[in-house]
């Protein structure tokens, strides 16, 4: 039976008891409206840890002024049921006031890996991400934390946070969970019209086209990006935010593909902005060690 926790005091009391009992703690941070992508992270985390903590917190700090914080999908009862079905031990569901009770005198600012991909058009987004994660890492005292590679930039930034602040927890990057037709699972998929839902499948198909170009010997990132853009424009009515190829996890620009890279896309549909990516080595194959 999952135990729901609402306050920081209760959470810290529990994690202190777990540590005194020498139990390892796995942690999956989410913003709720749980789907198969989240539950895959839960199942993966349970392979490593004795106890699993999942947080559900729609973090206002990582939303820009024109983004969808207020209408971000929420369903607490449904989330609790899903957590129970997947044997989550503790579900941390704090309020905004609980997490941010007053004016913090210290803020975190990410200086690298954020001026590309989603971070380029969402200033301060990752500052909000690392701020809430720093709090949650301390509160949960996690030994392992699981993130999905659908948001690979977030994985890269969190890896930087862990390394920069010497957190002792280990990050586990889990491959993107997809629908049968290849669409990456996302809470925002509910905002797609039927027509857009069909078109959205072409994001992953475009990425597979890019991968095949690399397998066939193409090493010019500019050429590959142009072909991906043309493919998406031909098959969808969405507006391309970006198509990019960068080193991973450092997220540096690349002139010729000779190392592990990420091919990433973002497309704005009427009511949903979708992202997707693949991470491959220089030959176009999926590497064993990603981060």
For residue 151, say whether it is annotated as part of any ligand binding site: yes
Summarize pLDDT for 215-233 with one digit per residue, the tens: 999 999 999 999 999 999 9
Question: Which residues are catalytic, by number?
Answer: 38
32 is in an annotated binding site: yes
Rounded Cα–Cα distance for residues 138 and 142 (Å): 8
- The reply, when asked if residue 149 is annotated as ligand binding, is yes
DSSP notation for 7-50: -HHHHHHHHHHHHHTT--EEEEEE-SS--HHHHHHHHHHHTT-S
Whether 36 has a binding-site annotation, put simply, is yes
What per-residue confidence (pLDDT) applies to 204? 98
Residue-level pLDDT, tens digit, the chain, 291 residues:
899 999 999 999 999 999 999 999 999 999 999 999 899 999 999 999 999 999 999 999 998 877 778 878 889 999 999 999 999 999 999 999 999 998 788 889 999 999 999 999 888 899 999 999 999 999 999 999 999 999 999 999 999 999 999 999 999 999 998 999 999 998 889 999 999 999 999 999 999 999 999 999 999 999 999 999 999 999 999 999 999 999 999 999 999 999 999 999 999 999 999 999 999 998 888 776 566
Cα dist. 134→128, 182, 200, 216 in Å? Answer: 10, 33, 34, 43
Complete domains list, the chain, with CATH? 3-174 (3.40.50.620), 187-280 (3.30.1300.10)
Q: Is 185 annotated as a binding residue?
A: yes
């Amino acid at each position: 039976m999952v135990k729901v926790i609402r306050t920081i005091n209760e959470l810290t009391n529990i994690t202190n008891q777990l540590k005194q009992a020498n139990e390892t703690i796995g942690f999956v941070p989410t913003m709720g409206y749980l789907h198969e992508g989240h539950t895959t992270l839960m199942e993966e985390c349970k392979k490593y840890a004795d106890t699993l903590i999942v947080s559900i917190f729609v973090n206002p700090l990582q939303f820009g002024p024109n983004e969808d914080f207020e209408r971000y999908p929420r369903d607490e009862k449904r989330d609790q049921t899903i957590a129970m079905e997947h044997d989550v031990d503790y579900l941390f569901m704090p309020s905004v006031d609980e997490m941010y009770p007053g004016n913090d005198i210290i803020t975190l600012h990410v200086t690298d890996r954020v001026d590309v991909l989603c971070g380029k058009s969402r200033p301060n987004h990752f500052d909000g991400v690392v701020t809430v994660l720093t709090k949650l890492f301390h509160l949960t005292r996690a030994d392992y934390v699981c993130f999905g590679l659908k948001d690979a930039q977030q994985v890269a930034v969190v890896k930087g946070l862990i390394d920069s602040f010497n957190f002792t927890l280990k990050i586990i990057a889990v491959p993107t969970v997809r629908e049968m037709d290849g669409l990456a699972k996302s809470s925002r998929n509910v905002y797609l019209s039927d027509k857009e839902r069909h078109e959205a499948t072409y994001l992953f198909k475009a990425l597979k086209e890019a991968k095949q170009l690399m397998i066939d010997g193409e090493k010019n990132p500019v050429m590959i990006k142009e072909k991906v853009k043309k493919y998406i424009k031909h098959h969808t009515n969405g507006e391309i935010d970006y198509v990019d190829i960068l080193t991973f996890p450092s997220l540096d620009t690349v002139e010729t593909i000779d190392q592990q890279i990420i091919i990433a896309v973002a497309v704005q549909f009427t009511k949903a902005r979708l992202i997707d990516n693949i991470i491959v080595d220089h030959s176009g194959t999926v590497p064993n060690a990603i981060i």
